[in-house]
Every structure is written in C-alpha cells, then in structure tokens.
Structure 1
Amino acid sequence: MTVQDKVALVTGAGQGIGRAIALRLANDGFNVAIADIEPQRSKGESVVAEIEALGRKSVFVAADVSKKDQVVAAVETAADALGGFDVIVNNAGIAQIKPVLEITEEELNQIFSVNANSVVWGIQAAAAKFEELGHGGKIVSAASIAAIQGFPILSAYSASKFAVRGFTQAAAQELAPKGITVNAYAPGIVGTGMWELIDKELSKINGKPIGQNLKENVEGIALGRIETPEDVAKIVSFFAGPDSDYVTGQVLLVDGGMLYN
C-alpha cells in the first residue's frame, strides 16, 4: 500500500510501537510528524532522521498528550511543517500495575489523562483540522487486549483502554458524515519497555522471578511468539491507508491469538 502527499501525526513515536508505526507509515508514503514528551526529544529526532533517510519529510513536536492545548499545537505544527494533515495516530500511553484496592486518586487521574483524555483531544484536534482543510481523514487510536477484557492488577489500565474503545465507537458514528473514520488497534504482549515494566511490577506482587510473568503470558499466545512493534504497525498501516476506507468504529485485536472477540 502506498500513498502520496499525505501527512500523519503519531504520538508517543520516539520509541517502541510509536516508532514502528511512524516508520511503517513513512514506508507507505506518508510524511510523518513525530510527537513525544520533551525528555524523549533526542529519541524523537532520531526517528525523524530515519524517516528523512527514507526520502520522506518529518518533524519532531514536543507534546504532553494529556494537555489538550499541546495536542492541538502538535496537529497545527504537523500541518504547517509538512503541508497538510490526513491521519492522526493516538498512540501514546502508559501502564500502571496496582491492585484495585491500592489505586490512588492521583494514579487514576494520571492514567486516564494520558490514555483516554488524550484520545479525545486527538479526535477533536484532528477533526477540526480536517474540516479546516476541507476533507475527511483517519483517526487511529491505541486500545489493547485490556480494552476487550479487564486484567487483574491492571484494572486502571484496563478501564482507560475500555474508555478508548467507547470513544472510538461513539466518535465513529458522529464523524462519519464528515468523511472521517475512527478506529483503534488492540495489541497483546509486545516486546517493549512497557511489558518489561509490567513484568517487573508483577514480580513484586506475586513473587515470581523477573521474566517469569512475561514467559507465562507469551506461552498463552496461539502463534507461539511475543508480538513485535512491527506487528502492530501493519494494522495501523491498514487503518491509515485507503484499504480501510469502508471500516469505522472498530477495535481490531492484534495479539497473535490471545483473545477472540
């Protein structure tokens, strides 16, 4: 699948899944804006260089996606610097590993502001820019297998991803008349820093050796291996490109066979 003269913005794109998505979209033909928090600037600028080496245009935008004004500014920068705006990928997210009885107000507010509120700000900012430019567009957001089934010790994370699923379904219906599709991808166990953190924190709770929780979860994957960021990027490529023009309001599992929805 190739596109020409189209622009995508990927949040949380300095590393991991976000980086893989940005590079895949660049390979598809998109010019790609890389958004991440300021401490990730060097990693983000490295991704920009990788994209430019592919012959595409790119720009780094420092943005805290939990802040609406910064998401709006990121969209404006992407459109101004790259000459248009066609796709937003609301990829940025965080995990929290805590028994439900121990979650604090601050922790709950934090995970929802990053994982769920940011999706709303991304939807609003992208839809406004599409309308300003006089065309439709594509909104793609990060859900999770935890958006389909709640997981113990990950209750706040699960709830925030259920929220992404709800916003995706509702926004798809509201924005369809404007020619905007809204979908989400639901990864399983991806070999990134997030799962290293989950494994470490689960070890503190259940006493299993570091690596054991990850190993046991991977053993439950039907396809028999851990997921890569590139596995996720392929699904985002589909949602961002023309092959998904008649698909909206969907949360697509990409988990190697863990859940069956």
Structure 2
Amino acid sequence: MTAIPGRLAGKTALVTGGARGIGAAVCRRFAAEGARVAVADLDAGDCEALAASLGGGAFGLRLDVTSQNSIDAAMARVADIAGGIDILVNSAGIYDMQPVLEMSRERMARVFAVNVEGLVFTTQAVAAHMVRRGRGGRIINVASQAGRRGEALSVAYCASKAAVISITQSTALDLIRHGINVNAIAPGVVDTPMWDVVDGLFAKYEGLRPGEKKRQVGAAVPAGRFGTVEEQAAMAAFLASDDAAYIVAQCYNVDGGNVMS
C-alpha cells in the first residue's frame, strides 16, 4: 500500500466526507501521490486541520451535500483557489439502522438525501465544470458491500448504496464521451469510528455485548479481519490515476473476499 510519489502530480482532487474515515485516508493518499487536495466536510475546522497536515497546497472547506447552495459555493471556492477540479471522490455518507417495521419516511429520506441525492448533485456540479474545462477527469464513488447483498436491519442504507452502484454505471456511460471516467469502490467491513456506532446498534437490536458483533463480522471475512481505510484509499488512488484510463463504470470490491465477482 505504498504511495507512488508523483502519480497524481498536477491534479486537484475534491474529497467529500474528507475529514474522517475513508475520506480522510483518501485525502492523505492523494496528497502523498502529489495531488492538491480540497478536504470537504460539514465541519470546516476539521477540514482545515487535516488539510494543514497534508501540505502540497491542500485546503479545507465546508460542504453540505444536501444543500445545492453549499455545493455551488464549494465549487466556486475550489475553482478560485486551485483553478479547477480533476478528481472527485464522493465519500460523504451516513448510516442508519432500523428494522423494517420501525422504518420512518423521515429517516429514510435523510439517508437518501446524503447518500444518493448529495452524490448525484455533487457529481453533476463537478462534471459540468470538467466538461467546460475540456480536460476530462475522474469521479470515484464510495458505495458499500451492503449495496450488493443487503442487511436485514439496514434497509434504507443498503438501498442507498445499491443506488450508488447503479448511478455509477449510468453516469459513467453518459460522461465517458467527455473523457470523464466514473467508477466506484465497494468497501467491505472497514475499521472506522462508524463501525463502533454500528456495533452499538447491533447490541441494541440483537441483544449482543458491545464489541461482539464487530468480533463476529471480522472473523467471518475470508481474509480474517476488518479492512483498513488505507486499503480503500489505495484503490481510490489507482482509479484516480492514468493507470485506470480504460476502466469505466466498474465497482471494485475491496472487502477481503466477502463478495466474489
């Protein structure tokens, strides 16, 4: 998982959900490979703190993907500071768990507002910018294994991530004529702070001890462990690079063997 210095030199990358988890790891990897990184998330302070640690002209900005005004403002700021965007990573996302019989329209709408609509309209804004520049680009979406196989207690989340995979395919087929490659990553179980929340929810709904679900899930992975955020970031760096120039509309499982395709 060693970074390849200079592979992304001269590129500017916008990473949504960039202040933590997989998004933060992508920011670090991109910076290590020479990209100028715009770290975008809800908390501007967290974004600026991470950007300051990256160097290479990295900068932070507040972005709420559920607000078109926020998306437009972020686009304008990145264009003003860096001149343009070559790479977009849609990593912003939220998780929710509720049994089917307890689902509410409000909670499902919130999941889709962030995970689906936020991704679509951020992609639209960045893609329009890329088309105007005429230099092509790369768009990488963070999906989930849950979008492929489903989970009994996470209907809204799984449906939203299945939508991300479908959206990746549709936008890729539309945008490749402009030289914009769109692909996705489907992480398996990854050791992030979000998984501690998930473990707590399983403890609530399944009557497990704290930590037990996480132990069970990690043991069930063919590789025998949770994945790391750095392993996801390595795939993102590959897809952002010229090495992936002929890869279009694909969703890569980075999951330790959970799904074979």
TM above 0.5, yes or no, is yes
* Match status 1:128 vs 2:133: no
Q: Describe the superposition over 1:33-75 as per-residue Cα deviations: whole angstroms up to 9, x where unpaired.
A: 01000xx2332111111111xxx11111111111223223222
Work out whether residues 138 and 240 of structure 1, in 8 Å CA contact, stay in contact via their aligned partners in 2. yes
Find the partner of 1:13 among 18, 25, 36.
18
Q: Describe the superposition over 1:1-54 as per-residue Cα deviations: whole angstroms up to 9, x where unpaired.
A: 4122110000111111111000100111100001000xx2332111111111xx
Question: Could you tell me how far apart the structure 2 residues matched to 1:123 and 1:43 are?
Answer: 23
TM-score (norm 1): 0.95
**Number of residues paired by the alignment?**
256
Give 1:208's aligned residue: 208
- 1:91 partner amino acid: S
- 1:25 partner amino acid: F
Give 2:138's aligned residue: 138
Find the partner of 1:32 among 22, 31, 37.
37
Question: Could you tell me how far apart the structure 2 residues matched to 1:130 and 1:110 are?
Answer: 29
Question: Could you tell me how far apart the structure 2 residues matched to 1:242 and 1:80 are?
Answer: 25
Moved over 3 A (4+): none
Q: Percent identity?
A: 37
SS of the residue corresponding to residue 190 of structure 2 reads coil
Q: CA deviation at 1:124?
A: 0.4
Q: Describe the superposition over 1:155-186 as per-residue Cα deviations: whole angstroms up to 9, x where unpaired.
A: 11000001101110001111111111111111
Work out whether residues 48 and 61 of structure 2, in 8 Å CA contact, stay in contact via their aligned partners in 1. no
Question: Could you tell me how far apart the structure 1 residues matched to 2:74 and 2:188 are?
Answer: 28
* Match status 1:45 vs 2:48: yes
Report 1:55-74 matches (<5 A).
56-74=56-74
Work out whether residues 7 and 79 of structure 1, in 8 Å CA contact, stay in contact via their aligned partners in 2. no
RMSD between aligned residues: 1.1
Give 1:220's aligned residue: 220
Q: CA deviation at 1:143?
A: 0.1
Give 2:183's aligned residue: 183
Q: CA deviation at 1:203?
A: 0.5
SS of the residue corresponding to residue 149 of structure 2 reads coil
Q: Describe the superposition over 1:212-248 as per-residue Cα deviations: whole angstroms up to 9, x where unpaired.
A: 0111010111111211110110010011111111001
SS of the residue corresponding to residue 65 of structure 1 reads coil
Q: CA deviation at 1:101?
A: 1.7
SS of the residue corresponding to residue 92 of structure 2 reads coil
Question: Could you tell me how far apart the structure 2 residues matched to 1:246 and 1:193 are?
Answer: 34
SS of the residue corresponding to residue 259 of structure 2 reads coil
Question: Could you tell me how far apart the structure 2 residues matched to 1:4 and 1:226 are?
Answer: 31
Q: CA deviation at 1:129?
A: 0.7
Give 2:192's aligned residue: 192
Could you tell me which runs of 5 or more consecutive residues in structure 1 were left unpaired when the two chains were aligned.
Answer: none
